[in-house]
Amino acid sequence: MERGNRTVVTEFVLQGLAKNWELQLFLCALLLLFYVIILPGNILIIVTIRSDLRLGSPMFFFLSSLAFMDICYSIVTPPKMMANLFTRQKTISYQGCLAQIFFIHFLGAAEICLLVAMAVDRYVAICHPLHYATTMTRVVCWVLVIGSWAEGFMHSMIQMILIIPLPFCGPNELDNFFCDITQIIKLACTNTYTLEFAMFINSGLVTATCFIILLIFYGALLVKVRTGSVQGKNKAASTCITHIIIVFIMFGPAIYIYCRPFQDFPLDKVVAFFHTVVFPLMNPMIYTLRNKEIKAAMFRLLKKNKVGRDK
């Protein structure tokens, strides 16, 4: 559409994961297989935790919330990517592009806040075990989870408020398989230096700061577990190590993408693919594989369902 003598962009062209169509088809098939295997696994985690009274501690409540967030996060970009591949179309509407950016940052920021809440939970459990039950009540847990969603919403709304006024008059090609602020800002028909700096603060610097704080936090907890007189040292240390693994998986790609100038680098697509598609589905699985209680509860649930069908 035209506005005066300037063309207003109403859609963007997504270049996809690869230039070769056969390679894109292979990656799409691989992604579909990955979803068929991993996505039901995450749903099973939520069902198991919700249905087993022995998994009623705050740690498992947060884990089920994390699994739900990751499921939501992992379905923001792949459906459009697969639809474009199978229809051989590469376009996404302006509104659809903004929607992708909104939900990516909404869910991503909410998950970061939830990881901080999980760190607080581990701190109380390890450092103040006698007050754990009275401190981390169900109400407190719900407040922390709802607060994580609220923080994610506010973070994403800030992004939207900054992006929506931008004028786009061409070109409209995004060298990626989804829309993100690092790509779309470069297409604006105006000077975006100040905006890029604001985005760097809002996304990159905040993410890096949370990452460093969480590493110091869990490092201190590991030292306390190893040197103190905490009961269940091995279990507490294993839980902290699992949290550290998830922190690296979640924060590493985000820091790579947002904590630098908004320019194209060779590994951008690969990192973005793992960050938005693969890693979110893997996070709860890592917790499950390292937790004997959840695995035992899953076996009980599956066995119970099997007995019920046999009858």
Bridge partners of 2?
Answer: 7
Residue 82, H or E segment: helix 78-87
Each of the 311 residues of the chain gets a pLDDT tens digit; together they read 444 444 577 888 888 776 777 777 777 777 777 777 777 878 888 888 888 888 888 988 998 999 899 888 888 888 887 777 777 678 888 999 999 999 999 999 999 999 999 999 989 988 888 889 899 999 999 999 999 999 999 999 998 998 988 888 878 888 888 888 888 888 888 888 888 888 888 888 889 999 999 999 898 888 888 776 555 667 778 788 888 888 888 898 889 888 887 777 777 888 888 888 777 777 767 777 777 788 888 888 877 766 556 55
pLDDT in the model for residue 306: 61
pLDDT in the model for residue 141: 95
> Residue 225 in contact with residue 79, Cβ under 8 Å?
no
The Cα–Cα gap between 122 and 224 comes to 12
DSSP 8-state secondary structure symbol assigned to residue 266: T
Paired tokens of 120: 């607080």
The Cα–Cα gap between 146 and 66 comes to 12
The Cα–Cα gap between 78 and 296 comes to 32
pLDDT in the model for residue 151: 94
CA dihedral over 156, 158, 161, 162, signed as positive or negative = negative
Looking up tokens 């109400």, which residue turns up?
139
Domains of the chain are: 10-294 (1.20.1070.10)
* φ/ψ (deg, to 5) at 2: -110, 140
pLDDT in the model for residue 245: 86
CA dihedral over 36, 39, 40, 41, signed as positive or negative = positive
pTM equals 0.87
